[in-house]
Amino acid sequence: MTAIELHKLVKSYGAVKALKGLSLKIPKGSLYGLLGPNGSGKTTTLKIICTLLAPDAGKVTVSGIDALQDPRAVRQEIGYVAQEVAIDKILTGLELLELQGDLYHLNKATRDKRIQELVDRLDMAEWINRRSGTYSGGMKRRLDLASGLLHEPKVLILDEPTVGLDIESRSKIWKLLKEFHKQGKTILLSSHYLEEVDALASEMAIMDCGTVIAKGSPEELKKELGGDRVTLRVKEFSNEVESEQIQKLLINIHGVRQVVINKAEGYSLNLVIDDEAVLPFLKQELAKADFQVFAMTQSRPSLDDVYLQATGRRLMDRELEVAGQRDFKQENKNSMR
């Protein structure tokens, strides 16, 4: 059964197309990860699902309910933990949870019982009566998670749930999400942390530039690459013409597949080999063409390799590219003032 279904979602912010016909099905009871760099459309997708944003086109169904036609009913089905923690610094954590319960029209007995369960479960008893302005990032995240779970939603949606947290706090959140998943709750989380999605998700989709470029379980996506991943350099920094010559040479070697040029890393070449026995022959063929191996690394396929294979760049390269675009736009704005 499907908990969430998105059909050809389109969303633009002025000239910027955030979503370009995105379609996706989130199975009921899954812990589903949306992996992608900042600016890939993850937050826009989650906000549309949560009825906080309307798409320009497309259809959204949550628990069989049309989210565009009946947003009020959808909000009863979901719990949402946003990327930016919104907490009133003056109120205590307990007061904020009581307010959340009242907003969902829980009767006092049910509300207080549920709050106590979550305080115990999330290990918040020691500080729940303190003003939330004194909380650390990890405390705020746990309080935010409790708010999203208070009304016992069928679907829990989290946008970058561990961004900015220390390792200990991140580990606690991971453990809790795994427990909730085992209980049969549907969880949809977005992240740009490769290890987070790899460790948590039963199924996932990789997003880039407003569309889905790969989907499946983390293991399935890595297995699809097959073999070992090799990164090759013939110089510390090659040029485009040279890297294309090497690519043509490599794709004709038996046992070498999926040769991709990574421009962001000095025109290095990333490829998949079926067997280690291929490497000596590969080096021999390069030497015949007057190319000497400057550096070569070998590893098992990762989700970053899946992203690289689909886009021609690594996830971090895309993050830096987006950050550079934002800085450039900000500089232009400042220069116009």
Distance CA 16, CA 37 (A): 16
Mean pLDDT value across residues 79-99: 90
The pTM assigned to this predicted structure is 0.78
Distance CA 205, CA 214 (A): 6
Q: What is the pLDDT of residue 332?
A: 55
Q: Per mean pLDDT, which of 107-111, 137-141, 298-302, 315-319 is the most reliable? A: 107-111
Structure tokens at 53: 């944003």
Instruction: Summarize pLDDT for 137-163 with one digit per residue, the tens.
Output: 889 989 999 999 999 999 999 999 888
Mean pLDDT value across residues 199-221: 93
CATH code reported for the domain at 2-217: 3.40.50.300
Instruction: Summarize pLDDT for 264-281 with one digit per residue, the tens.
Output: 788 899 999 988 889 999
Q: What is the pLDDT of residue 322?
A: 62
Percent of the chain surpassing pLDDT 90: 64
Q: What is the pLDDT of residue 224?
A: 82
Average the pLDDT over each of 49-58, 237-246, 328-337 and give the range with the smallest value.
328-337
9 phi/psi in degrees, rounded to 5: -75, 135
Instruction: Summarize pLDDT for 10-26 with one digit per residue, the tens.
Output: 999 999 999 999 999 99
Residue 336 has pLDDT above 70, yes or no: no
Mean pLDDT value across residues 219-225: 86
Percent of the chain surpassing pLDDT 70: 95
Q: What is the pLDDT of residue 324?
A: 60
Q: What band does 198 get if pLDDT is binned at 50, 70 and 90?
A: very high
Residue 328 has pLDDT above 50, yes or no: no
Query: Tell me, which fold does domain 227-300 have in CATH?
Result: Alpha-Beta Plaits (3.30.70)
Distance CA 103, CA 243 (A): 60
Strands 31-35 and 203-208: parallel
Largest CA distance in the chain: 80
Instruction: Name the residue ranges covered by the structural domains of the chain.
Output: 2-217, 227-300
